[in-house]
Structure 1
């Protein structure tokens, strides 16, 4: 490890497992104390297994093995008041906040005419409103610290239309725009804001149950399946692949990078 985040404090949402866990543990390995946030409860409408409190504790254990302090937080990003209170408490414990990785999100594939009002609402509530809430709860602490970095986790679906995922695609384009808009207004405080856009990642969201749901939805128009194929000959990427990009963006190595949409997508957005 290079110590890129030595003595900084990083907050990660969706930290119980998958990409979020990889981000949290890697940040600790690079010298940061970590605030690890997750819902640890049933997610609405998803085909894949929801996270559990034991998984958040495993993230804490793995990060603490790196020799850093970790504050676990069970919170719902849809609840701004509750999230703000928990963030304030955690920041007071660790003394400051330097970087934020907003990774909490869901995906519920459906053909357009099978998307219910509830699916659209839940996707937007978590992926868009939850991301906005995360910035609103954390940005004041970055201002107080004299600057910092925020990474909003979008998707290749926020760069190129992905069929059979209208709510998800809508939400991830919104997150991309949100990052650019926050970057403009927070720049004067020394805060950089960027978005990261992965292709399919080997996590619960990329599980067999999820892939089966995508395949079922694609039966509505099989000719569109090619839009989901990566340019590189890989089915997907690893959480570590995504964390490498996130680490660059939260560290001083990217000190003049802001309002940027970084693709870690095996070329799917260009294919």
Structure 2
């Protein structure tokens, strides 16, 4: 059902001149923080989520500035219908935040086909369907900003989160292409890569594979590393960074959120460059321009 907007709480939160946001996974975690920050700035928000119960109080407080709609982002037809309803309601879209996602913890070998596909359906295909649905409106306007919420897991593959990383790697590859395609229409795309935040990603937003005995020692080591080395922050800090991002006239293609992920990004990049350099001779020897072999392509 659609939550019917209530009476506006204050004039500052109901400005009709504000930008219009479309935020997926808006009922909790980072999505909720982005929604609250946008409303506090005087913008209007289409907040979508699988269930809307958690948005009822927010809708009552912000009246006509908030439109909460139910949506499963893996349903491509439903995504298009919901985007159309959002545009009819507010007349335009300015900022689209693809935030919906979840994490399945498990070794790659442990994943069933259903578990692997479910990870990709939400984290990758959900963002793809939303992007496809909003592009006609943004192209017609000649403006807009699509914010793709990725992860530290897109910087590299890590044991226990391999399929999650796979979904985020796919998201980033698609988003880079989308950025190149959308820029000629005045549309900006930014990939946001957050570190750890105190959300429900590791509780209600997480699933797990059936563990195999062979990986028990590695799993124990990793669990100890997580317990000793986890750095988590409050979600409002991520929201503040995203507000600065969307206020920028020249937003970056990528934005790291957090010191730990910032340092990790540089460490991974340096390691890759060192490996590439060590194998430079082999890499270059594998290429030699030549004419097409006789009969090629026939």
| TM-score grouping bracket, smaller chain normalisation | 0.7 to 0.9
Other-structure match for 1:113: 109
Instruction: Please give the alpha-carbon distance, in whole angstroms, between the structure 2 residues aligned to 1:168 and 1:135.
Output: 20
How many Å separate the matches in 2 of 1:176 and 1:239? Answer: 22
CA shift at 1:227, angstroms? 7.5
Q: Does 1:122 find its partner at 2:133?
A: no
Whether 2:159 is the aligned partner of 1:132: answer: no
Equivalent of 2:254 in 239, 256, 261: 261
CA distance in 1, matches of 2:172, 2:58: 27
TM-score (norm 1): 0.81
Q: How does 1:57-96 map to 2 (within 5 A)?
A: 57-62=56-61, 64=62, 69-96=65-92
Counterpart CA distance in 1 for 2:105 and 2:66 is 34
SS in structure 1 of the partner of residue 69 of structure 2: strand
Contact 2:102 2:205 in 1 (8 A): no
From 18, 28, 32, the equivalent of 1:21 is 32
CA pair 129-159 structure 1, distance change in 2 beyond 3 A: same
Unaligned runs of 5+ in 1: 41-52
Where do 1:1-271 residues align within 5 Å?
7-40=18-51, 53-62=52-61, 64=62, 69-207=65-203, 219-221=216-218, 222=220, 235-251=231-247, 253=248, 255-258=249-252, 260-268=253-261, 269-270=264-265
CA apart distance, 1:224: 5.3
Query: Which one has the largest radius of gyration?
Result: 2
Q: When the two structures are superposed, what TM-score results if normalisation uses the length of structure 2?
A: 0.74
What is the distance in 2 between the residues matched to 1:227 and 1:127? 25
My pick for the range that moved more, 122-131 or 195-204, is 195-204
Aligned counterparts of 1:17 and 1:6: Cα–Cα separation in 2: 26
Deviation at 1:56, TM superposition (A): 2.6
CA contact 2:97–2:147 (8 Å) conserved in 1: yes
Coordinate RMSD, CA, aligned? 2.8
The alignment of Structure 1 onto Structure 2 pairs a total of residues equal to 246
CA 1:125–1:209 in 2, change beyond 3 Å: closer, same or farther?
closer
CA contact (8 A) 1:162 1:227 kept: no
Q: Indicate the SS of the match to 1:78.
A: coil
Deviation at 1:79, TM superposition (A): 1.3
- The 1:207–1:93 alpha-carbon spacing in structure 2 relative to 1, beyond 3 Å, is same
Query: Distance in 2 between the 1:152 and 1:126 partners?
Result: 13
Deviation at 1:88, TM superposition (A): 0.8
> Does the 8 A contact of 2:104 with 2:164 survive in 1?
yes
